[in-house]
Structure 1
Amino acid sequence: MSTRIKGFYKLSPEERLNIVSESAGLTEQDKAVIRGEEGFTVQNADNMVENVIGYMPVPVGVAVNFKVDGKDVFIPMATEEPSVVAAASNAARLAYNTGGFTTSFNGSIMIGQVHVTDLKNPYGALATIYENKEAILEKCNEQDPTLVSFGGGAIDLEVRVVETSAEKLLVVHLFVDTKDAMGANAVNTMNEAVAPLIEELTGGVVVLRILSNLADRRIVRARAVFEDPFDGNQEMLNRFIKAYELAAADPYRAATHNKGIMNGISAAVLATGNDTRAIEAGAHAYAARNGKYTTLTHYELGENNTIVGTIELPLAVGLVGGATKSHPVAQVGTKILGVKTARELSGIIAALGLAQNFAGLRALASEGIQRGHMKLHTRNMAVQAGAQPEEVDAVVALAVKEGKYRFDDIKRYLEEVKK
């Protein structure tokens, strides 16, 4: 089914769900779960984290118009922020007829870190670890025969001497192919199991043994050619490129630029039960990898006033383990995406981040970010002002008609509706 559906936003939630259900082959139970009628309970929550007293529902929207690696895909997004889903869908529409989004992936390698201190001869210890590499990797792989049976496991290591304010210590990087899992538990188990062997080999003391969320061996890239969003207006096109260039040069602007990317990425990561904090930490660390914080996306002018956009970042997402399998809504979210591998999932999420960022720059280069955002935020403000469900649309209509979205205006519109 094509995801180019005209007027999708005008449909009711049930009508939208029926369209997605037909594409993804959702069952009636799946639909009940995603509607919140059944599925996630306090007992589910109590099984996932400690000291549970309840849970907080988050809206799940669907981004449309996405074609990723030649395949149309609906993207579930769990977010509380208005305008995010609409903006991503609108940006994807501009890339649909030019081929959509094309992605690449450099592998599912996670990095485990073992930090060794109190070394008399740090460089000698470094050499000793390399001399015993095979024994160290073998010890790692003994911890997870299932992962090894799927072709994964510890495949290599790297050792660095790092000078702190107090000493020169060793950082051993274990490179673990986690396949379709995010892999934190597997990597940390290997780190802890191999620490005594590393201490024995080096004569040092291991103080830390944990994975790194700077997963720079797990890089995903996405590219798209966006049709001219400004109808040939060269001034606007130039403003768009200048807005990108400013973000690339100024870390204060880059932080907000990349936050816009994560509006999309974090929403899809959450909707599939993956670790939003790990993804965000890795993305921002990668943005500063060269000693200066900069953008995760790049833009260039193409032929016929098109804009060529690319994104590059680490995305340690998986389909095995964690909330991806224990959270019923996350299971339905993954089913909607129709993905079978972590590589597919990460490519789609990267494409969403690029689209989200393109939409933000487009708004900044033209009408500004607030007009569209406040228009969609009006529904929230109407509810805050005391509007009943049957009054919300009428309040929004008045706000759009007058083009005023301050809270005192919303209260005035509501008074008119109630009269």
Structure 2
Amino acid sequence: MIPFYKLSIPERRKWLVDHQLISQVQSEQYAKDYSLTHTQLSHFSENVISQLAFPLGVLKEIKVNNNSYMVPMTTEEPSVVAAANHGAKLMLKNGITATSYRTGIYGQVVLDGVSLQQTSQIDNDLNQAKKDLMTQFSSLVNYGGGIETIELITENKPFLEIRFKVNPAQAMGANKANAILEAYSQRLKTQFGLDSEFAILSNAPAQFVTAKAMIDFETLTKGSISGEKIAHKIARMSDFAQVNNYRAVTHNKGIMNGVDAVLLATGNDFRAVEASVHMHAASTGYYSALSQWQVINQQLVGQITLPMPIGVVGGSISSRQLIKNNYDLMANPSAEQLSEIIAGVGLANNLAALYALTTDGIQKGHMKLQLQNMLLSLGASESQIPKLIEKMQQDKNYQQDYAKQLLKEMRN
């Protein structure tokens, strides 16, 4: 049987249909050119002059909470999807256990120069304000969301902050949270004659997901290098990332390679997640690694905790056919399940990077994929590329000028 990654793009879509992961109609939709019209593009952004397309790949199988998922990933970096597949395969035997905690997203209404009397009036009104806002935004309540808490923050004088936590149900919730905050800001003006400085959501970490994987030593063995030796080296690299921020930021970037790719493929705001994640990484006052790997009871054990302010409804999710197809590909997970899948992918990418660093080095896998891109840009054909890569690796010469020389010789 030909490995999935060696199939052509049409053959991969056929494989998905044959395995009942997508329908024939969805396969045809994936094959369709979804270039947007100028009118559509103008609704998506400002000052549009054209559009860019990114590849849509898949992580063929990752096991999270005893469920197997095929996960869509959108990225321009070829090694990201390859790494996710490798890391997930290493974790496949024992799988990943994950738990999400969707407690809401924060929002802030901030006032300046408020008197003690006015502060007391605002404080006394908070319970009633919450009731009135829950009534005003009953549609959110009907979906299982609503305002979790409203509290007064007085520690940043002369500013007064009214901090909200909003449960967005299955949505990411940015628009709904901002609407609630602006409604409360108007209440302050109407009832107390106070103009707020601003009212907006905060991307501070509030919704978390934790994923954990346990990998047997034998699974990690590579050639003459024992799995136990690799496990200990990975654990020591992880220890270093905990105490060295120069390493931690690159360690975390490898995690976010996978996380961002899934966020893009599912129509979520990767910028919001990135902002939240890096605040979390520095929550102790020192920027540190988001994951930790240890050797426990003859296994390599990895754990990661990430803020994950995402949704599975709203925004551009329901308005873009391919995004909807991507959810079907994953059997339409809830927001909680999607958070757990994404954390698992981040852990898989992290493991693959650490595994490469402790065995072949990071360049070997990266270089082959980068060479493919370079050779394509030079006009090499699909049949020429494998031979050119083999020759360049044999000679350990990866320069573009050498590639041009080899391509010229091959054509002559």
TM-score w.r.t. length of structure 1 = 0.90
The amino acid that maps onto 1:56 is L
For the pair 1:383 / 2:376, whether they are aligned, the reply is yes
Does 2:187 correspond to 1:197? Answer: yes
Kindly indicate whether residue 304 of structure 2 is the aligned counterpart of residue 311 of structure 1: yes
- Indicate whether 1:273 and 2:250 are aligned: no
- The residue type paired with residue 362 of structure 2 is I
Deviation at residue 60 of structure 1 after TM alignment: 0.9
Partner of 1:325, secondary structure, is: coil
Aligned partners of 2:210 and 2:340 also within 8 Å: yes
2:364 alignment partner AA: R
2:115 equivalent in structure 1: 120
Q: Which residue of structure 2 lines up, in the alignment, with residue 90 of structure 1?
A: 86
Moved more, 133-142 or 41-50: 41-50
The answer for the alignment partner of 1:226 in structure 2 is 215
CA pair 205-117 structure 1, distance change in 2 beyond 3 A: farther
Unaligned runs of 5+ in 1: none
**Could you tell me whether the CA contact under 8 Å between 2:258 and 2:349 is conserved in 1?**
yes
For 1:43 and 1:87, locate their aligned partners in 2 and report how far apart those are by CA, in whole Å.
38
Q: What is the match of residue 200 of structure 2?
A: 210
Match of residue 176 from structure 1: 166
| SS state at 2:329 partner | helix
- Give the corresponding residue for 1:396: 389
The aligned counterpart of 1:368 is 361
* 2:406 is the counterpart of 1:417: no
Q: Deviations over 1:19-48 (max 9, x none)?
A: 233446423342233234347554443332
Pick from 233, 239, 263: which aligns with 2:257? 263
Supply the RMSD in Å over aligned alpha carbons. 2.3
What are the within-5 Å matches in structure 2 for residues 4-15 of structure 1?
7-15=3-11
Per the alignment, do residues 244 and 137 of structure 1 end up closer, same or farther by CA in structure 2, a change over 3 Å counting?
Answer: same
Question: 3-state SS of the aligned residue for 1:76?
Answer: strand
d(CA) in 2 for partners of 1:103, 1:303: 20
SS at match of 2:284: coil
Over 3 Å counting, the alpha-carbon distance change for 1:23 and 1:209 in structure 2 is farther
Q: Which stretch shifts more, 148-157 or 85-94?
A: 148-157
Cα 1:39–1:415 change in 2 (3 A) is closer
Partner of 2:68: helix, strand, or coil?
Answer: strand
Query: Which amino acid is the alignment partner of residue 206 of structure 1?
Result: S
Match of 2:321 in 1: 328
Please, which runs of 5 or more residues in structure 2 have no aligned partner? none
Give SS of 2:317's match: helix
**Number of residue pairs aligned between Structure 1 and Structure 2:** 407
CA distance change for structure 1 residues 132 and 348 in 2, over 3 Å: closer, same or farther? Answer: same
Give the match for residue 336 of structure 2. 343
Q: Partners of 1:104 and 1:377 in 2: how far apart?
A: 36
Q: Shift in Å at residue 196 of structure 1?
A: 2.9
Residues 134-145 of structure 1 correspond to what in structure 2 (within 5 A)? 134-145=127-138
1:282 to 1:24, Cα distance in 2 relative to 1, 3 A:
farther
Partner AA of 2:142 in structure 1: S
Residue 97 of structure 2 corresponds to: 102
- Aligned residues of 1:139 and 1:193 also touching (Cα < 8 A): no
State the one-letter code of the partner of 2:175: N
Deviates more, 1:187-196 or 1:239-248: 239-248
Question: Given the two structures, how large is their TM-score scaled by the length of structure 2?
Answer: 0.91
